[in-house]
Structure 1
């Protein structure tokens, strides 16, 4: 009896699926999720719910490296969109789908609680001198700190794990101190900036490639509080 019941249910669902939205026109919706202040890409959960009855509910994820997303939605439909990322204020919007809709850009605001921001900062090889092409990135961090006067951050320095552990630790410490010095010279109070050096103890990748080494050599900013 149970087997017959399951077969009947499956048959009924197949009929519903074959009848659902026979003339639906689907288009690709593209966009990006980023940090509002720094412009850095974010991995976020994007939840779609069709309006008014929520017949179409789906969950997507933006790419961690680019922040980009792409998925199919039904043309001429209205959707409620919820964007969620750990450490950021949730975004809730309504959109109407049409063929001329431009790519969406969700800019998220950090809410503290340990939010970790990746910074694109380059240094001289094996030194703590900040290269000029990193100033723009640091200026965005300065602006964010000015926009949120109560914000406190912790600069966290990392190197690749190869080589002397002690030398890597010292290098990561010198680099976060260089970044802190830059922020202070731009008017940010030293009391709002903590530092922590990790050396090569927390690599992103252990692959023996130049790309992996570059990923491991990084300075990040952890938001400790926003008010």
Structure 2
């Protein structure tokens, strides 16, 4: 706003709509998905996981005090131990992408949860038609984020 050219007192008002930050809540974001048994980001005709992570880059650049936890999940195939390791690698893949975009490492916490929090259970998947089962497993191979702190103080560069 500028007061150039005004000859009388004018009051300007601007409304802001704020969302409450809830710690430890899973926030919806565009999908970050992975091929079976891989920590590589899934990029194909229907999903571009880097676009999804760019959503987080934008969020973190606009909210410079947030610290987030990236929680990566697997489907239920494979051993529990190998799925924990794989999911940790997936979380670290996301962190590395964000680091490459200039987000400070102190703001990012990777956590691999393996197959502990399936969205679609094996029992539910087994009832699906054969041609829908892989898509159901893919839904379980995902990464979500939680805000764990909002007290990060950026360092001067």
Quick check: TM above 0.5? Answer: yes
Higher relative contact order (CA 8 A, sep 6+): 2
Determine which of 25, 50, 62 is the counterpart of 1:135. 50
Determine if contact 2:27/2:144 at 8 Å carries over to the other structure: yes
Correspondence list, 1:63-212, <5 A = 109=19, 111-119=21-29, 120-132=31-43, 133-206=48-121, 207-208=124-125, 209-212=133-136
Largest Rg, 1 or 2: 1
- Unaligned 5+ segments in structure 2 are 1-16, 126-132, 152-157
Q: What is residue 224 of structure 1 aligned with on the other side?
A: 148
Alpha-carbon deviation of 1:129?
1.2
TM score, norm. by length of structure 2: 0.70
3-state SS of the aligned residue for 1:127?
coil
Cα RMSD of the aligned pairs, angstroms, is 1.8
What do residues 163-216 of structure 1 show as CA deviations (whole Å, max 9, x unaligned)? 211111111011000000000110100101111111111111212233431221
- Larger strand proportion of the pair: 1
* Structure 2: distance between partners of 1:123 and 1:211: 12
* Structure 1: distance between partners of 2:113 and 2:49: 21
3-state SS of the aligned residue for 1:128?
coil
CA separation of 1:131 and 1:110: change in aligned 2, threshold 3 A: farther
Aligned residues: 121
TM score, norm. by length of structure 1: 0.49
Determine if contact 1:155/1:221 at 8 Å carries over to the other structure: yes
3-state SS of the aligned residue for 1:159?
coil
Alpha-carbon deviation of 1:110?
5.1
- Unaligned 5+ segments in structure 1 are 1-90, 92-107
- Larger helix proportion of the pair: 2
